[in-house]
Amino acid sequence: MKLASLKAGRDGKLVVVSNDLAWYADASHIAPTLQSALDDWDRVERDLRNLATDLGHDAIPKERFHEREAASPLPRAYQWADGSAYVNHVALVRQARGAELPDSFWHDPLMYQGGSDGFLAPRDPIPLADESWGCDMEAEVVVVTGDVPQGATREQALAAIRLVGLTNDVSLRNLIPGELAKGFGFFQSKPASAMSPVFVTPDALGDRWKDGKLSGALHVDYNGQPFGRADAGEDMTFDFGTLVAHAAKTRALVAGTIIGSGTVSNRDAGGGPGKPIAEGGLGYSCIAEIRMIETIQSGSPTTPFMKSGDTVRIWMEDEQHHPIFGVIEQVVNG
């Protein structure tokens, strides 16, 4: 089942979307918003699935689905917590600044509490008040949970995953060092992110969803050129069950909690840092990563951060090369 929120009010209007993303059926008679559906999932899931089946069988009125009319599936959420599950990425960050990667980073997930009060629509511009802040994209996988009790095991956490999607976790790289030096984590360096137009139930992902990981190339195009094709199922040190359980260690998580994978990042086939796509590699899911590799290789970065007018597209394709979650497509608006 694929769900989306058409732009309407603060929380959008819930619709069920066809597998090919061409059509939708209004679901607001079952639950007006995605958050309300998640609040009451056990009661509404069957009705939503029936609606999706009817839509697939052409048995009900349907409307054309236009991704530009979609808000982020949860236009605002009660929680957004982002892991750093691709430890390869973290290792490069450390290597670039000459710092050791503690061994614990391979066993204990990194996670930060993000701002969840407003997500950009998937086709919204990225508002950037100051280019010197160092704007970067980060292409990631996200899951949305139901209610998760405090102390949930990985298996309980996996069973609580209701939906899977993608995000562009926008970061202001040049504000990060100052914030991390203060010791309280990210705040101003993490402005509003955008989510994919459509979120999908794990069962509808078939073999791509296994053991709490989503497999497949995460496509990132930057200014119209292929920039990243890393496989989200590779080099993911912590699966989503582990990430959700980490988040729930000391407190319950409310339904509608969004948990992110962190920037998807693959090692090169030879084990070293990934190569650009133009050099036969799988590229990068954020600009910071190529800058770190440039720093490691030549002492300083050469690829600049995003500036006004730059575009980024993020999507993942099925076997027929159709986007599974729709396409995040944003322009920096300075």
Q: What does the binding site for its own copies look like in residue numbers (CB under 8 A)? A: 10, 39, 76-79, 81, 84, 105, 108, 110-118, 127, 129, 133, 150-151, 172, 175, 180, 182-192, 246-247, 249-254, 256-257
Q: In terms of CB distance, is 188 or 225 closer to its own copies?
A: 188
Long-range CB contact pairs, 318-323, < 8 A, 24+: 322/20, 322/21, 323/21
Q: In terms of CB distance, is 127 or 206 closer to its own copies?
A: 127
Which is it for the CA torsion 319, 286, 203, 39, positive or negative? negative
Residue 149 Cβ, how far from its own copies at the closest point, in Å? 10
Residue 38 Cβ, how far from its own copies at the closest point, in Å? 11
Q: In terms of CB distance, is 181 or 299 closer to its own copies?
A: 181
Residue 112 Cβ, how far from its own copies at the closest point, in Å? 4
Q: In terms of CB distance, is 221 or 310 closer to its own copies?
A: 310
Residue with tokens 């102390």: 151
Residue with tokens 């995040």: 328
Q: Which of 306, 115, 144, 141 is nearest to 230 (CA)?
A: 141
Residue 274 Cβ, how far from its own copies at the closest point, in Å? 23
Q: Which of 293, 296, 297 is nearest to 284 (CA)?
A: 293
Residue 94 Cβ, how far from its own copies at the closest point, in Å? 10
Residue 124 Cβ, how far from its own copies at the closest point, in Å? 12
Residue 117 Cβ, how far from its own copies at the closest point, in Å? 4
How far is 314 from 308, CA to CA, in rounded Å? Answer: 18
Q: In terms of CB distance, is 189 or 196 closer to its own copies?
A: 189
Buried residues in 123-161 as b, exposed as e (16+ CB within 10 A): bbbbebeeeebbbbbbbbbbbbbbbbeeebebeebbbbb
CA 85 to chain CA centroid, nearest Å: 12
How far is 28 from 100, CA to CA, in rounded Å? Answer: 51
Coil, strand, or helix at residue 291?
A: helix
What is the H or E stretch that residue 240 is in? helix 240-247
Q: In terms of CB distance, is 30 or 247 closer to its own copies?
A: 247
Q: Which of 289, 294, 153 is nearest to 228 (CA)?
A: 289
Q: In terms of CB distance, is 1 or 120 closer to its own copies?
A: 120
